[in-house]
Amino acid sequence: MKRILLCFASALTLMLTGHNTLTVSAQQPTTLAAMVDGQVTAVEKQLVEAAEAMPEDKYNFSPENLKIPGADYAGVRSFAVQVKHVASSNYFIWSPIAGEAVPSFIKDGNGPADMKSKAEIVKFLKDSFALGHKAAATLTPENMLQPYAAGKGPRLARMTFGLGHANDHYGQMVEYLRMNGIVPPSSRAKSN
């Protein structure tokens, strides 16, 4: 059973990252929770770095501002709302797995309307990923296929849905950064 779960978790890692970031050896045993938590860490790093890279005076940027002829960006989220959306969604997706209620100040998927400053929004994002780590830590081979709530889907599927959702919005945030002449931190040349 452990071998099957390890193969499943390895395949999950490959699927989520697009490449092999996992080396499993007899000397370094791993758990399902640790492997999923590693994926939470990976997307968290990308999103937080992107959120921190955008200057505060550009947080209200939306491609709609560019008025590109023929483009239909009417009503798309601003950069700030993209970040708040990821954070809010993380709470909605991962709270049931972590056994917590969604905080009462989160009313919808766009995050608190009164949250305006870059510092508040980045903290909100980081706090949502702290919840993601807590949720990942609850995963075991015994409960990963159990419903995350009565009548709902498997806990592992819910965790990976949250990771995929965050990755999708990371891609959108990257475009917003590039539209403002900012190279995303994950794309910058690394010095040795």
* Residue 3 in this model has a pLDDT that exceeds 70: no
**What's residue 28's pLDDT?**
55
Segment 91-145, tens digit of pLDDT = 999 999 999 999 999 999 999 999 999 999 999 999 999 999 999 999 999 999 9
**What's residue 153's pLDDT?**
94
Q: If you average pLDDT over residues 135-156, what whole number do you get?
A: 93
- Fill in the DSSP letter of residue 148: S
End-to-end CA distance of the chain: 42
Q: Are 148 and 159 in contact (CB under 8 A)?
A: no
**What's residue 16's pLDDT?**
46
Strand, helix or coil for residue 177: helix
**What's residue 128's pLDDT?**
98
- Fill in the DSSP letter of residue 149: S
Task: Give the whole-angstrom CA distance, residue 22 versus residue 36.
Answer: 11
Task: Give the whole-angstrom CA distance, residue 89 versus residue 84.
Answer: 8
Task: Give the whole-angstrom CA distance, residue 137 versus residue 145.
Answer: 15
Closest CA to 176 of 102, 103, 73: 73
Task: Name which residue leads in pLDDT, 11 or 125.
Answer: 125
* Residue 20 in this model has a pLDDT that exceeds 50: no
Segment 40-86, tens digit of pLDDT = 999 999 999 999 999 999 999 999 988 888 888 989 999 999 999 99
What residues form DSSP beta bridges with 154?
147
**What's residue 121's pLDDT?**
98
Handedness of CA 87, 91, 94, 100 (dihedral sign): positive
**What's residue 88's pLDDT?**
98
Task: Give residue limits of the domains in the chain.
Answer: 31-186
* Residue 190 in this model has a pLDDT that exceeds 90: no
Q: Residue 150 — very low, low, confident or very high, per pLDDT cuts 50/70/90? A: confident
Tell me, which fold does domain 31-186 have in CATH?
Answer: Four Helix Bundle (Hemerythrin (Met), subunit A) (1.20.120)
pTM: predicted TM-score of the whole model, two decimal places: 0.83
